[in-house]
Amino acid sequence: MNLEEYFSRIGFHGSCNNLDLATLKLLHKQHVLSIPFENLSVHCGERITMDLEVIFNKIVRSSRGGWCLENNFLFGWVLRQMGYDTEMLGSRVFNSATNGFNPSDTHLINKVVIDGKAYITDVSFGVSSQLWEPLELVSGKDQPQAAGAFRLIDKGDHWVLEKTGRKPKVVNLEFAKSSLVNQKLKKPIYSFTLVPREARHFLEVSHSLQTDPSSLFTNKSICSLQTPTGFRALVGWTYSEVTYKPEEGVDVLDMRDIPDDEIDQILREKFNIKLQNKLQPVNKTAYYTL
């Protein structure tokens, strides 16, 4: 594993010597624009691991994406190798079905301290909840980004990340009532504490997320990639291109279903992913929105 391969993978051409916020922002944005958030391994007979070398080979050398336990683990390693003051944290994703946060840390994020200020980095949540830049760890401050206004709220014993977005404008009317279309302008995303975590903290949940019949990731095949104007997503057989239109107060969703024999082509052309094993798309009933 080496940094140069990673930098080439995300198209980063900046200096490795400037351990400042500007460099961190550039790394963060290049990662989300280059590496998909995806769980396709679960649906093509592959096992997802917390072995960093396996993750590096998959994401950097095999032009794949990964879910948060892979992408953010890799990103934290990159930052530490560069010399950033970085710690891994665990977070609990908001579950709209129960209207509360999940009981265990199913999401991995990183905290970075620069010149005495703390920032939260998260390069792997996907779709419209994806950060393009780090968030300053300060309570109640709107931090506008392409997808909308993110804010962190200090609740005393934990922090909450929430977002205010825009109304969806669905181009294809047959998808106007699709369960994938998010109708909530304001929503919590996850909660977290500032307790540092090691990779072993996530071993059990990594296994559960890819094997539990009730897990979102066993019920849906998901691939999303941020673009300069929004993001692309393939959930089951439904392919979406989302364009952010902040000047109009809307996100434009262009959605269509893809036949089985075109799935591999979509993955190659829209996400730069070529799978070694055959994907079996899945889109069972489970709450998930773009």
Active site residues per annotation = 68, 107, 122
Closest CA to 87 of 78, 98, 100, 76: 76
Instruction: State how far Cα 16 lies from the chain centre.
Output: 24
What is the Cα Rg of the chain in Å? Answer: 18
One-letter amino acid of 41? S
Tokens of 84: 């950033």
Phi, psi of 63 (to 5 degrees): 55, 45
Beta strands in the chain (DSSP E): 37-38, 85-95, 100-101, 107-114, 117-121, 135-136, 143-145, 148-154, 159-164, 167-170, 186-192, 222-227, 230-235, 238-245, 250-257
CA distance 109 to 88: 6
Q: Which residue is associated with the tokens 């649906």?
A: 43
Give DSSP secondary structure letters for 131-188.
-SS-EE--BT--EEETTEEEEEEE-SS-EEEEEE--EEEESSGGGTT-TTS---SEEE
